[in-house]
Structure 1
Amino acid sequence: MSDPVFHLSDVQLSLKGNAGPVDILRGISFDVQQGETIALTGPSGSGKSSLLMVMGGLEQATGGTVEALGENLSNLNEDALARFRRGRMGIVFQSFHLIPTMTALENVATPLELAGDADAFAKAEDALETVGLGHRINHYPAQMSGGEQQRVALARACAPRPAILLADEPTGNLDSANGAAIMDLLFDLRDKFGSTLVLVTHDPSLAARCDRSIALADGQVV
C-alpha cells in the first residue's frame, strides 16, 4: 500500500481560554489513504472543524504529529504552510470567503495568479464552467445567490486540481436543494480530479456517501 495522504498520530490541540488552557483535540490518531472520502462527524463542540483546520495546516497542533502528503506540518511555519497548501489543497468553508470587490472570475483566478500560474484566468474560467457558472463569470458575489457563491468557492478550491479537498460544513449556509446540489458537485469534482476528500458534516445521509466516517466526541475519536 502506498503512503497515506494523511497520517495523524496522537494529535492534540490546546487553546488559551479565560480560565486557562482548553483541550480541543485529545490524542487523535488515524490515516487517510489516497482517493478516500472521509466524513468527520459528531456533535457541535466535538472538535470536528478544529481537526479539519489542523489537517489543513490552518491551525497548528500543540502535540503529536500531522503529516500530509509525506510532509510533517508541525515543522512548518505559516509561510511554509501557505506554500505547501498552494496547489495541493483546496479548502471549502461554510462561509464562502469570497472577495466582494472581485468578480467570480477574479475570485477564482487570484490564488492561481499568486501561485505564479500563467494560465490563471483560463483555468479559472474552466473551473467556473465546470461548476455551471460560465454565464456568471463577470458577476460580483452580491449579485449571486448563496448557492452560486458556494459554487464559486468550490471552483476556487478545485481550480488548481488539488490532491486534497477539505470541506467544513460546505452546505451549512444553504437550503436543502442547494445543499444537495453542492454536495453532488463536490463528489463530482473529487472524481474528476482524483482528490482525497475530507469533510465535516452533521448530515447522516452525506456521511453515508463517504467511504468511512470518523466520529468525534469531546476531542477524541469514538
Structure 2
Amino acid sequence: MTSILSLKDAALALDSNAGRVEILHGITLEVHKGETLALVGPSGSGKSSLLMLMGGLERATGGQITALDQNLSAMSEDALARFRRANMGVVFQNFHLIPTMTALENVATPLELAGHRDAMERARAELDAVGLGHRGDHYPSQLSGGEQQRVALARASAPSPQILLADEPTGNLDQSTGEIIMDLLFDMHAKRGTTLVLVTHSNALAQRCSRVVRLRDGLIADATDAAA
C-alpha cells in the first residue's frame, strides 16, 4: 500500500506557564493512500495534537513528518500554507467559518486563494453536495450547528484534497445531525478516494474506519483494523 502520510519518531512539546509540556512522545505511524483512519483515546491523550502535526498546523519538536513525499518539518510557514491549500482539507469541531461571509463565500474562499477562476461555481456545487445549495446566501449565525458543519465540510472538500483531516467533526452535534455528517464524510471518501483521518470520541464513527489507532499519554497504545 502507498504511504500518503508518514510520521517517524514525531514529538511535540509546548511551553506553558508551568514550563515545558511534553504532549507527543516519538510517534511512528504510516497512513496509507485512500484509507480511513480513526484516532481515538481519552481526553488529553494527544489525538488532536497528532492530527495538527499531520496537517502542519503544529510544528513537530522532534522527528519527521512527510506528506505526499514532502517533508513538512522542513517547510516554511508560507510553503506549508500553500501545500495544505493544494493537498489537504481540515474540518474542526467548532466549524471555524468566517462570520462575515456567507456560506457560499466561505466555501469559495480557499478556491479563490488557490487561483481558481470558477471558484463560485465550484462552491455552489459543493454546497449542493452537502444539501445546502439553498442556504448559500446565509451567514453562519443564521445556520444551525449541523448546517455550519456541512458548510465547513464543503469548504474542506471544495479544492478536491487528497487528504482530509477531521477533528471531532460530530463533537458539537446531536446524534442524528452527527450521523448526517458521518455519512457525508464517508460518502466523500467513497466517491473521491480521499484519505480520511479523523479524531473522535464516538465508537460508532471509529468503527466505520478501516483502521483505528488508540493513543494514551502521548503514545500509540495500539493500532487495529476496525473490524478486528
TM-score of the superposed pair, with normalisation by structure 2: 0.95
Say if 2:186 is the partner of 1:183: no
SS in 2 for 1:148: helix
1:8–1:30 contact (8 Å) kept in structure 2: yes
Question: Which amino acid is 1:102 matched to?
Answer: M
Q: 2:40 — aligned with what?
A: 41
Offset, 1:20: 1.9
Offset, 1:106: 0.4
Q: 1:125 — aligned with what?
A: 124
Question: Which amino acid is 1:63 matched to?
Answer: G
Q: 2:224 — aligned with what?
A: none
Q: 2:169 — aligned with what?
A: 170
Give matches, 1:2-151, under 5 Å.
2=2, 4-151=3-150
SS in 1 for 2:65: strand
Q: 1:206 — aligned with what?
A: 205
Offset, 1:59: 0.2
TM-score of the superposed pair, with normalisation by structure 1: 0.98
SS in 2 for 1:65: strand
Measured against aligned partners, the alpha-carbon deviations of 1:158-208 in whole angstroms (never above 9, x if no partner) come to 001100000000011111110111011111111121100000001111111
1:162–1:193 contact (8 Å) kept in structure 2: no
Q: Distance in 1 between matches of 2:99 and 2:61?
A: 34
**186-195 vs 89-98, which moves further:** 186-195
SS in 1 for 2:181: helix
Offset, 1:77: 1.3
Offset, 1:87: 2.4
Alpha-carbon RMSD: 0.8
Q: Distance in 2 between matches of 1:159 and 1:21?
A: 38
Q: Distance in 2 between matches of 1:124 and 1:192?
A: 18
SS in 2 for 1:29: strand
Q: Distance in 2 between matches of 1:218 and 1:119?
A: 46
Q: Distance in 1 between matches of 2:140 and 2:203?
A: 30
Question: Which amino acid is 1:123 matched to?
Answer: R
**187-196 vs 45-54, which moves further:** 187-196
Offset, 1:19: 2.6
Offset, 1:30: 1.0
Offset, 1:119: 0.7
Gaps in structure 1 of 5+ consecutive residues: none
1:13–1:63 contact (8 Å) kept in structure 2: yes
1:166–1:199 contact (8 Å) kept in structure 2: yes
Q: Distance in 1 between matches of 2:136 and 2:194?
A: 25
Aligned residue pair count: 221
SS in 2 for 1:216: strand
SS in 1 for 2:57: coil
Question: Which amino acid is 2:25 matched to?
Answer: R
Q: Distance in 1 between matches of 2:86 and 2:152?
A: 15
Offset, 1:135: 0.7
SS in 1 for 2:86: coil
Measured against aligned partners, the alpha-carbon deviations of 1:83-116 in whole angstroms (never above 9, x if no partner) come to 0001210000001111111111000001110111
Q: 1:219 — aligned with what?
A: 218
Question: Which amino acid is 2:129 matched to?
Answer: T
